[in-house]
A = this chain, B = another copy of it.
Amino acid sequence: MNSNNITIYDVAREAGVSMATVSRVVNGNPNVKPTTRKKVQEAIDRLGYRPNAVARGLASKKTTTVGVIVPDISNIFFADLARGIEDVATMYKYNIILGNSDSNRDKEIHLLNTLLGKQVDGIIFMGGRLHEDLVDEFKKSPVPIVLAATLNQGYDLPAVNIDYEQAAYDATKMLIGHGHKQVGFITGPLEQQINGEKKFSGYRRALEDAGLPFRENDVILGNYTYASGLEAMQKMLGRDDCPKAIFAGTDEMALGVIHAIQDAGYSVPNDFEVVGHDNTRLATMIRPKLTTVVQPMYDIGAVAMRLLTKILNAEEIEEKNVVLPHRIERRDSLRKD
């Protein structure tokens, strides 16, 4: 409760200069004589002066703070992304205001408005689906917004993603390549475009290319969680035409799938083969270790934040819609070729 009422004005008096000069010193403005700078710096140190970022924000109209809207930070996936964001934010001297939306439209809109009220310099948004109302708000935003791991559904917003369609195609194809005539697909809600359009269509395309029929029954929707993966697989195992190859839309679901298979007394990869998606740390925390599509969450976050800084600095931007490369990390949930 002390030391904090020291203003730039106190420093100015202490150093025998004007507040404008102190401001210059604090902001590293070169137009200050070295001796003056030193004098001011000493006064700052002596007084323990700490610039008030709120006042600075009001005067300069910049807060060096960016908003981050995430469905749920306790989800390992978004936590990793957030770390990527925060790391490059720190690198560029920004701070992060983090909010959880639970992918709920009203919360998203409310959060967005709160952040704008707080005068953030920019926003990074993650969410399964871009509601039209939200996009309307985005359009009205006075500050730039970048999407991370979120499809830019035809709206012209800067975004960072991987090619989900191709990734799902690759994963399915790899399974088919192992001789399976039938591949199960267990993923999240289809309303979310990443699943409903991209992953799903990649899955179908792979089947088609291989001349295999698409069977409605081979697709089960869950909600990304371990439990929903487990349950989905149990349901599938209950059928006599159960596929012996499974592509799961999420590592967490893939773990559930593997355990459901093992709980039923079968072996992975001998009886069933499984491929996951995301390559979270979970992938190596299971036996057999999970073969999975590598979605570089940390990188997506980092690149999204970097993109935002570019926009904020009006730097040259080669491409607003960044597609990061993906690959499949082969581990033991797939038989050796």
Which A positions have Cβ atoms within 8 angstroms of B? 1-4, 50-55, 57-58, 63, 65, 72-76, 79-80, 82-83, 86-87, 90, 95-100, 113-119, 140, 142, 226, 252, 255-256, 259, 262-263, 281-282, 284-287, 298
CA A12 to CA B184, docked complex, whole Å: 62
CA A87 to CA B74, docked complex, whole Å: 11
CA A178 to CA B28, docked complex, whole Å: 66
Chain copies in complex: 2
Q: Contacts A50-B113, A83-B73 hold; do A97 and B96 have CB atoms under 8 A apart?
A: yes
Q: Contacts A79-B73, A262-B287 hold; do A50 and B95 have CB atoms under 8 A apart?
A: no
The answer to whether B118 and A95 touch across the interface, beta carbons within 8 angstroms, is yes
Residues of B within 8 A of A50 (CB): 113, 116-117
The answer to whether B76 and A119 touch across the interface, beta carbons within 8 angstroms, is no
Residues of B within 8 A of A2 (CB): 140, 142
How far in angstroms is the closest Cβ of chain B from A222?
15
The answer to whether A86 and B58 touch across the interface, beta carbons within 8 angstroms, is no
Residues of B within 8 A of A87 (CB): 100
Q: Contacts A79-B79, A83-B74 hold; do A119 and B58 have CB atoms under 8 A apart?
A: no
How far in angstroms is the closest Cβ of chain B from A26?
11
CA A142 to CA B100, docked complex, whole Å: 28
The answer to whether A63 and B54 touch across the interface, beta carbons within 8 angstroms, is yes
Residues of B within 8 A of A142 (CB): 1-4
